[in-house]
């Protein structure tokens, strides 16, 4: 018996097939999920709107079309008015342009908040899971405390405490709000990553790496984190709608985005005053918010199924 004994039949079949990387496999399964594809398309449109918003917008978000307003008897213009596709608000500002500005704010929230969540949650969770014992206990009790603290109160307190500083004044105070939302949101990410690391740490391929003599740091970076990335991507995608919603809520109650900038939350807030006579001022921003939230959720659910290692290679 020689050592050169590849099973010939199997080898031929394999040779004829293209290389299937785990990523390609996940993408293929994502593409088969219709809802997720629709979600992904809307998300891409939303991103495009946020980036190209100012270029796309027929009006500047703070410009008042006073002429048209006067012509309409100082009442908000209804949808499908000439020059104003979705009408205007009571000050004659183009609603479509303001929605685009809101998209920009929502996407900024999504990005900034998730970056903060990742930057804090992943290292904390990875350290707790990897080192275990006392480190784990310390870090997890700390996250429990953060988790137990009322989010809204924390955000308001931060807002008050740092209002006068450079961070507080950056981006009309928005950056501070975003950071605050992120600072309350990393807790779930830390727990998720810790759980992943705990289970991966016991896996045989990590043991194999240890037997080879790979350093701890490299084991975490090369073996553990890449294998934990699936659930993290899902958590980030599903965390975006709650961040957007948090910002909308803050803006709705008046501590978020300040006029003249428009967030979907503050647009809804403004609109409620005219809800009886001009329902479009509430309906359109609410619709935009709902569509964005649903798209991210659909995409997140689809990613979760596509990245599930148990389903790898199927369908």
The residues that touch other proteins, with contacts defined as CB under 8 A, are: 1-7, 10-11, 14-15, 17, 19-22, 25, 203-205, 207-215, 218, 222-223, 226-227, 309, 312-313
| Of 23 and 70, CB closest to other proteins | 23
To other proteins, the closest distance from the beta carbon of 147 in angstroms equals 19
Of 192, 292, 205, 183, nearest in space to 233 by CA:
192
To other proteins, the closest distance from the beta carbon of 21 in angstroms equals 6
Rounded-to-integer distance, Cα 203 and Cα 212, Å: 15
| Of 11 and 145, CB closest to other proteins | 11
To other proteins, the closest distance from the beta carbon of 30 in angstroms equals 17
User: DSSP string spanning 116-184?
Assistant: HHHHHHHHHHHHHHHH-HHHHHHHHHHHHHHHHS-HHHHHHHHHHHHTTSHHHHGGGGHHHHHHHHHHH
To other proteins, the closest distance from the beta carbon of 152 in angstroms equals 32
| Of 75 and 218, CB closest to other proteins | 218
| Of 17 and 166, CB closest to other proteins | 17
Residues 6+ apart with CB under 8 A from 1: none
To other proteins, the closest distance from the beta carbon of 143 in angstroms equals 18
To other proteins, the closest distance from the beta carbon of 29 in angstroms equals 13
Residues 6+ apart with CB under 8 A from 278: 75, 76, 78, 87, 90, 271
**From the CA atom positions of the chain, what is the Rg in Å?**
25
Residues 6+ apart with CB under 8 A from 255: 155, 156, 159, 177
| Of 14 and 119, CB closest to other proteins | 14
| Of 146 and 214, CB closest to other proteins | 214
């Amino acid at each position: 018996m020689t050592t050169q004994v590849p099973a010939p039949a199997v080898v031929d079949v394999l040779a004829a097939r293209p290389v299937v990387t785990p990523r390609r496999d996940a993408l293929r399964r994502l593409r088969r999920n219709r809802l997720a594809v629709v979600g992904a398309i809307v998300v891409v449109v939303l991103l495009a709107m946020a980036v190209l918003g100012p270029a796309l917008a027929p009006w500047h978000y703070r410009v008042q079309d006073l002429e048209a307003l006067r012509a309409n008897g100082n009442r908000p213009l209804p949808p499908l008015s000439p020059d104003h596709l979705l009408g205007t608000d009571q000050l004659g500002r183009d609603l479509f342009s303001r929605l685009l500005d809101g998209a920009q704010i929502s996407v900024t929230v999504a990005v900034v908040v998730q970056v903060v969540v990742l930057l804090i949650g992943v290292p904390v969770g990875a350290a707790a899971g990897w080192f275990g014992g006392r480190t784990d206990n310390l870090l997890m009790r700390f996250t429990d405390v953060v988790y137990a603290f009322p989010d809204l109160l924390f955000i308001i307190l931060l807002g008050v405490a740092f209002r006068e500083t450079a961070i507080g004044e950056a981006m009309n105070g928005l950056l501070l709000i975003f950071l605050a939302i992120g600072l309350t949101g990393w807790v779930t990410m830390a727990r998720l990553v810790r759980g992943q690391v705990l289970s991966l740490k016991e896996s045989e391929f990590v043991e194999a790496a240890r037997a080879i003599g790979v350093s701890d740091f490299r084991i975490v970076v090369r073996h553990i984190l890449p294998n934990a990335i699936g659930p993290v991507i899902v958590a980030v995608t599903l965390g975006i709608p709650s961040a957007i919603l948090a910002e909308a809520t803050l803006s709705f109650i008046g501590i978020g985005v300040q006029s003249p900038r428009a967030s979907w939350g503050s647009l809804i807030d403004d609109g409620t005053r005219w809800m009886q006579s001009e329902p479009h001022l509430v309906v359109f921003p609410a619709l935009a918010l709902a569509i964005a939230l649903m798209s991210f959720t659909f995409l997140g659910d689809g990613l979760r199924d596509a990245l599930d290692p148990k389903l790898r290679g199927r369908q």
